[in-house]
Amino acid sequence: MICLGIEGTAHTFGIGIVNSAGKVLANSTRTYVPEKGGIHPREAAQFHAAHARAVLDEALRTAKIEIEDIDLVAFSQGPGLGPVLRTAATAARALAVWLDVPIIGVNHCIAHMEIGRLTEGARDPVALYVSGGNTQVIAFDAGHYRIFGETIDIPIGNCLDVFAREIGIPHPGGPTVEKLAKDGKNYLPLPYVVKGMDLSFSGLMTEAIRRHREGANINDLCFSLQETAFAALVEVTERALAHTEKKEVLLTGGVAANGRLREMLKLMAREHHAKFFVPPKELCGDQGAMIAWNGILAYKSGFRQSIEDTKVKQRWRTDEVEVTWRRS
């Protein structure tokens, strides 16, 4: 069986093609970069619509298949930005109806987890999912993917990007902050906020911007921002690991590209005798292959949806998803 997965929740529009053996045949993406400021949902949706055809053609070419070879269409049903979700859903419905194949809506956050389980061979990890739009610590428990901890305000990727933008670094800021941090020598105290199992990054971001305006050394500031934010992420992941007594840690999402975060999380995992996994960069960020693979998992487990069930869910919570493809 071949599944075509459409991703569209935020900046990236993607189409992935995956077969039921878990082989990724194609994974094409285009990413909307706002001219200035943050993401504008309607503009992003228009960008996705304008590039959808080219991405589809590219994916089919790469997979060396005809569109008629597709047996199943999956798409990101949520969570995400309304106009962007609706664009991907519309494309998915049109394709499924035209090809006369089943359609399955996939939860974006869980898809990040599932592609990591597929390609890295992690069986039952505690996942730290860190991106521009999400920050969650997720693990499977009693039939559901539970959120063990999450941000109560902005996601970590957004924290890095907005900080960067405010100090004149172009989008996306995360990679540049990482580079600048390498030459940081002094730790400047910044607000470290963990509330129970939840995280907060907005105070940290505001204070880092303020310190920049006061003339703090840019390298020290980037270094301190990373150390503070990542320590909080690792703390919450560590507690989820200790509580669940799982033996694996999976890092995913766009921010998983960060070498320092990888290093810190890997050290923590080692102290708990847990295995540490990070998917390759092209499977950490947003893309369609993870959607396609999760579609296959759901379909093979007997899950079915009608077109009426495919309404997008902007605030679809990870723990609301019926995980029909996993028992333990």
Encoded tokens for 301: 């487990």
Least spacing, CB of residue 43 vs Mg ion, in Å: 19
Does 286 sit near Mg ion (CB under 5 A)?
Answer: yes
Q: Which does 172 bind (CB under 5 to 8 A by kind): Mg ion, ligand AMP, none?
A: ligand AMP
Q: Nearer Cβ to ligand AMP, position 5 or 173?
A: 173
Q: Nearer Cβ to ligand AMP, position 95 or 154?
A: 154
34: how many CB neighbours lie within 10 A of its CB?
14
Q: Nearer Cβ to ligand AMP, position 12 or 310?
A: 12
Least spacing, CB of residue 8 vs Mg ion, in Å: 11
Encoded tokens for 285: 């960020």
Q: Nearer Cβ to ligand AMP, position 83 or 285?
A: 285
Least spacing, CB of residue 112 vs Mg ion, in Å: 6
Per-residue x/- track, 236-275, Mg ion (CB under 5 A): ----------------------------------------
Strand partners, 199: 151, 194
Residue nearest to ligand AMP (CB): 254
Least spacing, CB of residue 63 vs ligand AMP, in Å: 22
**Residue 234: C-alpha distances to residues 111, 181, 230, 262 (Å):** 22, 18, 6, 10
Task: Out of 27, 28, 131, 252, name the contact with Mg ion by CB under 5 A.
Answer: 131
What residues line the site for Mg ion (CB under 5 A)? 131, 286
